Amino acid sequence: MNLNQLLVRAAQSFPDRIALSHGTVDYCDYGTLARHASGLAGVMRGELGLAADDRVGLFMTNTPEYLEAFHGALHAGLTALPINNKLHEKELAYIIDDAGTGALFVTPDLAEKAAKGVEIAGSKARIVVVGEKEYAGFRDADPMEMVDRGDDDLAWLFYTSGTTGNPKGAMLSHRNLWEMMLTYFIDVDRVPVNGAALHPAPMSHGSGFYGIPHLAVGARQVVPESGGFEPQEIFDLFQHHEEVSLFAAPTMVKRLVGHSGGGDAANLRTVTYGGGPMYVADLKQALDRFGPKFVQIYGQGESPMCITVLPREDHVDTDHPRHEERLASVGYAQSVVQVKVADGDDRDLPVGEVGEILVHGAVVMRGYWNRPDVSAESLRGGWLHTGDMGAFDADGYLTLKDRSKDMIISGGSNIYPREIEEVLLRHPAVLECAVVGRPHPEWGEEVIAFVTPNEGEDIDTAELDRMCLENIARFKRPKEYRVAGSLPKNNYGKIVKRELRNQLETEGSADG
């Protein structure tokens, strides 16, 4: 069944409910959103010449028109191709070409970059700039009937970050997204009718996925007027909208907690966080500031938002004897998946042993676009091989031990950077840190810690060393502490350890 049935139903059953707000201003109701989507669908299949399953690129900053174009593509039986709006035009060109993009909807601020990307790709993709006269005409065109889709037909082509090479397109079907939506209601939150999904994080990724459950119940979706994450604007929107939920990367949560302005957050209902490690010290500060409003999810684009969950009750169950360990975990398997930890031969490992995390379920992708060999390897035996390392406890709670590529092997021993980082972040002068391995001729690798101080603070590396010696085995202790003004991050605020490793390797080559 076409996922866009959710919008068609909403328009029929509660057409006058507000569907979209732009900041504090109501943008349109559900009846209007459905008409706009069906008008765009007719133009996509007519004037733009797109056929069933063709890819429609969405290269946009967060804006209400994003949802119009997204649902227009689904309504027309096409595949939505949301693209990270921070990409370089060469990276954009790669995706346009690899996906065989037929049309590209862009916001005015990205029109020039989009044109360069299309040119570099040698593509004939039609660029449509939202908000301009042509787009308004398309949106108000004659509507078309929604195209029926099969459960396994492609709905969303999700390109990975490409940290180890060119990005790959995870093929997400209508069934995948239905499963993801239903799991939100079971494992994350029951969206109230008067709820609001706030979108300060990119709608091309996690925030866009979590707009779907709100659509299902006819709740409101709110796009910040800035189009992104501005802490004071977020607090202002808490004042205006009811029962506000948002998806946030851990770095965003940390900025909200540290924002000196702010205001009343009584209307904040749920913060679902994921996409990177949330350190226990940061999480405790967030709970002190906002209360029991946090849910952690662990997922990948290949299993969208659905691998494990740490529900809000576990965040505040301070009487539990393993409360601290649970805060450091990513919770237990979500309702629609099986999760296991396996060795190199895909055999289950016992409690406490570290291995690769594997996932099975109807939410897992069909495979990678035009990459049958990579798909077969990633999905061998019917299980998604995540590349993440972790271990279960006796209660089924999973603790991540970093990506397999981030693990440090020194003197034959496996060292997981996160447990060292958790210790370093306890120091009051440390804002953020990253632990990586540096090649060593005798030991294979040695542990190096990069630390960034809080503003106005000085870091005594001898104190850091003492903390490590008091809390972790000596062989895990960093051999060097480097104080840096900032750490390299990607477009979503994740620290890019690859760049730190490259820096250390370059230095080693120069020394040699």
Spatial CA neighbour of 154 closest among 412, 369, 386? 369
What pLDDT score does 489 carry? 86
Tens of each residue's pLDDT in the chain, 512 residues = 999 999 999 999 999 999 999 999 999 999 999 999 999 999 999 999 999 999 999 999 999 999 999 999 999 999 999 998 888 888 899 999 999 999 999 999 999 999 999 999 999 999 999 999 999 999 999 999 999 999 999 999 999 865 446 789 999 999 999 999 999 999 999 999 999 999 999 999 999 999 999 999 999 999 999 999 999 999 999 999 999 999 998 888 988 998 877 778 999 999 999 977 688 988 999 999 999 999 999 999 999 999 999 999 999 999 999 999 999 999 999 999 999 999 999 999 999 999 999 999 999 999 999 999 999 999 999 999 998 889 999 999 999 886 667 878 787 677 878 889 989 999 999 999 999 999 887 787 899 999 999 989 999 999 999 999 888 878 889 999 999 999 998 766 778 888 999 899 888 766 65
Q: How far apart are CA 26 and CA 223, in angstroms?
A: 10
Q: How far apart are CA 384 and CA 176, in angstroms?
A: 14
Q: How far apart are CA 57 and CA 81, in angstroms?
A: 4
- Spatial CB neighbours of 143, under 8 Å, sequence gap ≥ 6: 35, 38, 39, 41, 42
Using DSSP, state whether 233 is helix, strand or coil. helix
Number of H helices, E strands in the chain: 18, 24
Q: How far apart are CA 237 and CA 364, in angstroms?
A: 34
Which DSSP string corresponds to 302-346?
TEEEEEEEE-HHHHH-TTSTTHHHHHTS--EE-TTEEEEEE-TTS
Contact 277/252 with Cβ under 8 angstroms?
Answer: no
Bridge partners, 391 (sequence order): 399
What pLDDT score does 164 carry? 47
Q: In this structure, what DSSP letter does residue 143 have? A: P
Bridge partners, 273 (sequence order): 248, 296
Tell me the domains of the chain and their CATH numbers.
5-392 (3.40.50.12780), 407-511 (3.30.300.30)
Q: How far apart are CA 290 and CA 271, in angstroms?
A: 10
What pLDDT score does 254 carry? 86
Q: Phi and psi of 22, rounded to 5°?
A: -110, 100
Q: How far apart are CA 97 and CA 120, in angstroms?
A: 9
What pLDDT score does 161 carry? 66
What pLDDT score does 163 carry? 45
Residue with tokens 């390299």: 488
Q: In this structure, what DSSP letter does residue 347 have? A: P
Q: How far is CA 320 from CA 288, 312, 323, 358, 399, in A?
A: 18, 14, 5, 28, 17
Contact 91/161 with Cβ under 8 angstroms?
Answer: no
